[in-house]
Amino acid sequence: MRAFLVDDEPLAIKRLVRLLKSTGKIEVVGTETNPAAAVAAIQKQQPDVVFLDIQMPGLTGFDVLARLDREPLVVFTTAYDEFALRAFEVNSIDYLVKPIEPPQLERALRKLERLTAAGESRPDIQHLLAQISATLPGKEEAYPRRLPSRMGERIEFVEVAQVTHFVADEKLTYAVTQSKRYVVDFTIQALEERLDPAQFVRIHRSTIVAMKYIQDLHPMFSGRMCVRLKGEHATELDVARNRVQLLKERMGIR
């Protein structure tokens, strides 16, 4: 079967591609981390099945499906196992809870094989969308609540609410909490686009800070500023001169 993968987390896509290839049953014909771009790519590739994340910035997985002219088989992937999973089961549509494990994937592939067998009817995707559309959070809440961090072959998730700041250093990006630093597979620019602007602000080309963790601000020379964070470490972060006004506005300072 020809498969297309859509997920806003690059690490999740890499893991699923590796798992699918190891089964020898699936040909991955394309991947996309941007849900809007995924619509056109799926229309072009016409895959047999789409492995589709639910919660993504901009468009949800259900929004992507609603924009497709042709309805493929779908396996939903989600980090939130409370997310209307009962509705998936009732409609015989499969789902995978991230991080995806091989036994989960094998179960989904067996179901796909049954659905493609002669005489087997496909689930009614549109009926599913109608059933659970009211349960989806609005787009204003579609910001990621956790981010993946690769630890060798293991993927660990960091809760965004616990991140004090993100910093780029030596070609790596770190999500920093009050107790640990996690490597995340996003650039600072990509994080600025994905994170809730009501919670996070970019203060430097290499730094994004969570405003709730800011203890105080200190003016510096040449119009620059320094941010000191809450906590025992009292971490200090430089604010670039061209970011000072933005930070003040976000913090409600005139």
Dist CA 195 CA 183 (whole Å): 16
Residue 226 pLDDT? 94
Residue 92 pLDDT? 41
Regions of the chain short of the pLDDT cut 70 = 79-95, 118-142, 254
Dist CA 148 CA 95 (whole Å): 19
Residue 111 pLDDT? 79
C-alpha distances (whole Å) from 103 to each of 83, 96, 109, 120, 233 are: 20, 10, 10, 23, 43
Q: Is 181 exposed, middle or buried (0-12, 13-18, 19+ CB in 10 A)?
A: middle
Is the bond preceding residue 197 a cis peptide, omega within 30 degrees? Answer: no
Q: Which domains does the chain have, with CATH numbers?
A: 2-138 (3.40.50.2300), 146-250 (2.40.50.1020)
CA dihedral 79→80→84→85, nearest 10 degrees, is 60
Kindly state the tokens that stand for 172: 């790596």
pLDDT tens-digit map of 190-237: 898 888 888 999 999 999 999 999 999 998 877 789 999 998 888 999
Q: CA 251: distance to chain centroid?
A: 26
List alpha helices for the chain, DSSP H: 10-23, 35-45, 61-66, 85-90, 102-116, 125-132, 188-194, 244-250
Crossing angle for the helix pair 10-23 and 102-116, to the nearest 10 degrees? 60
Global pTM reads 0.52
Among residues 26, 40, 23, which one has the least CA distance to residue 6? 40
